[in-house]
Structure 1
């Protein structure tokens, strides 16, 4: 098996002039990971092409995308996989995702594992697309070499490198079964990525079947709630009727006390900061999560809610329209 080794300087020379002012950290070290979608936790050992922390490609051409966002039903993994598949010109049927367990070093490199504020796609959009675009260029170069073609005559599509001069093609799997591409993408290389024109997108923006549905349906996918430690106490929040300025007068948990495993219900203030104000949350505690869920349905919370905060969607749309029509409209509305 041959190896394609490309220096950072060679790549930057070939890539040409690019954007400036973009700084994306990309030096986290990829390593074997544990797939949380598989209850048996097999090690997924990347073969032949691991250009970055985000994805690896095996010698079969199969690509595995590592998801560093918390998954709780929003299918973030499939969205991020679409970015990689688009820029690498992958066959969607030859793609998978996993959710790696992380040690402290990886956790610090990635800035934690989180999802919130609809930021998962936004934060990953640039680094994933740019990393995938650079990986595509390496595959193009290796594919052109395998075909004995000029790289300028080649393009990538559906997991193949195609030579337009002689109408021949070679799959990513064939390329990687013959050679190993040894290159780790450096931060400065991301600036030079040759991104596709959005008008040419065939995967991003399209509805795709989520890649982790089977595991979610058959129960083999593991979530944080599946973790267990001795003497764990589980909580279930009973949310306020409004997002802001709701306070708890009293809590009646007499019916919840009949639930085996129920412990107590706490009144917890949450603070937004600045003009966001705060609100209360009733937190039900129990010895198991099912017990906490059942108890939460039985507690009776007496809420003190300011009437000006009792808004519905129609109120919000009317106020948004009024603000939009103002000559000097504020950027947000908080009543």
Structure 2
């Protein structure tokens, strides 16, 4: 995921700069991080996950902190033709993380500002860089503090700023909302190159604009994410359906159960092909490489598409396994 920003302004101070003079560009941008020129459509900064566009930037910049990001945006704001795009892990699909002959910022290079803080109400939060990958945030929270973000994404190799610029949805969203509902504070670099801290009570318009704003209100360089105790164990289940109506009925039933003690902690569904294709067919459903999908259990009336509910129940070592079994069976 990415958060992107394009700036077009009035003074033309870039036309005299040679495209291949990376050192002079770095000096002009007062760069504390690093910069390199791009070698064409095969360069990392020229591609994204969608694979539909290829745009070569002027330079791929690795900023060291929010001040570095702000300097790049200010440079673009003083130019009549220079654009800048923030690139997370490159999981955009329509070229949002690219800047044709502009500046692409590698947000993953931002300094790691990870720290866990406790609020006055007893809640715990993680202050994390906008360029941090969620998988690293999760690992650090669990291994060092026994905590975890309340809401994740299914695929964790995405940046914090990228998913917060979209929504950040997975199987916990039915209970806690998307990731954008589990953030209390942001640091944002606006289109003028100004750095603001914002929350529901401070610079609130920018806060709510940046969350889910697809990068159009600024670049997220830091976020304060709500945490909760991580479970010791997880019971992980997948149920396969042949009928779409049964699948959606059960999914709705499970996500509307309000009693946390008598429900699942994760509910999500997906469709797959009723074939032996390992990419999107029956072999993609088992949870473990040693498991296999036994198609003999499918009724003869099964169609070309099948449906799967993925469920998880959290519990602790002190919990009685029989209670967990009873809740799952129910």
TM bucket (normalised to shorter chain) is under 0.3
TM-score, with normalisation over the residues of structure 2? 0.26
Q: Which has the higher contact order (CA 8 A, sep 6+)?
A: 1
> TM-score of the superposition, structure 1-length normalised?
0.26
More helix by proportion, 1 or 2? 1
